Amino acid sequence: MEAKLSVNINKIALIRNSRGANFPNLLTFAKDCEEFGAEGITVHPRPDERHITYADIPQLMEIVTTEFNIEGYPNRKFLDMVVANKPHQCTLVPDLPDALTSDNGWDTITHKAFLIDTIAELQEEGIRVSLFINPDNALLDGAVETKTDRIEFYTGPFAHDFHAHKEKAIEEYTSAALHCNKLGLGINAGHDLNLKNLNYFKNNIPGLLEVSIGHALVVDSLYYGLKNTIQMYQNELKR
């Protein structure tokens, strides 16, 4: 099974918000991503709504025809919004309210009880759940106990170390992916994946189902154009 590409459109919302008007149009951008080959749309509304706003969510739900994935820290406001809109997938991240970007995964052992209750609430609404997590077998064992459907590997360390020693950078991710396969956990991945490292990552992660890419894809589209960029990322996933 080929891994799917979900485009995170947070940066487009950030540009829009910087001028206080609906330009670029977030809904048009999301539809164009799908038309050009994206197989999903990801958003990550944050408490300060500096990019995706809570008001954007129901509008996106109406027009997204592929998979819609909402990421975020599961406080009560976030969970109520997710349950009200029922995306295909909800990716839970352990970000602090003032986090610039997601930079660590869940401690599924320390937060086991909280995650069990949260995941059960979402799954009762028919929403698939994924946990943002580091490639650590003990934490993956903990993830199984929460009953999550999938995990999303935090790939920041891989991307950081890729150019210096790609074989070493991927090693723990490959090992963790094999462990996920044994545990029956679906595998997603995201953070700093780009045109230079995506193919190598994909080819070394058995069972990879989905990657979520935003910042790098939007930057690349400034040079190559959106349609061409999405097709370039798809080529990296398919070869």
Token readout for 186 is 């679906």
Residue 179 catalytic? no
The answer for residues whose C-beta is within 8 angstroms of residue 93's C-beta and 6 or more apart is: 44, 71, 72, 73, 102, 106, 132
Q: Annotate 49-113 with DSSP letters as a single string.
A: -SSS-TTHHHHHHHH--SEEEEEE---HHHHHHHHHH--SEEEE----TT-SS------TTTTHH
From the list 39, 51, 67, 191, the catalytic residue is 191
From the list 71, 152, 210, 236, the catalytic residue is 71
Residue 191 catalytic? yes
Residue 88 catalytic? no
Give the ranges where the chain is alpha helix by DSSP (H).
10-18, 26-35, 56-63, 76-85, 112-124, 137-146, 156-161, 166-183, 198-203, 215-224, 226-238
From the list 44, 51, 210, 236, the catalytic residue is 44
| CA neighbor of 90 nearest in space, from 63, 52, 120, 62 | 120
Please identify every residue annotated as catalytic: 44, 71, 191
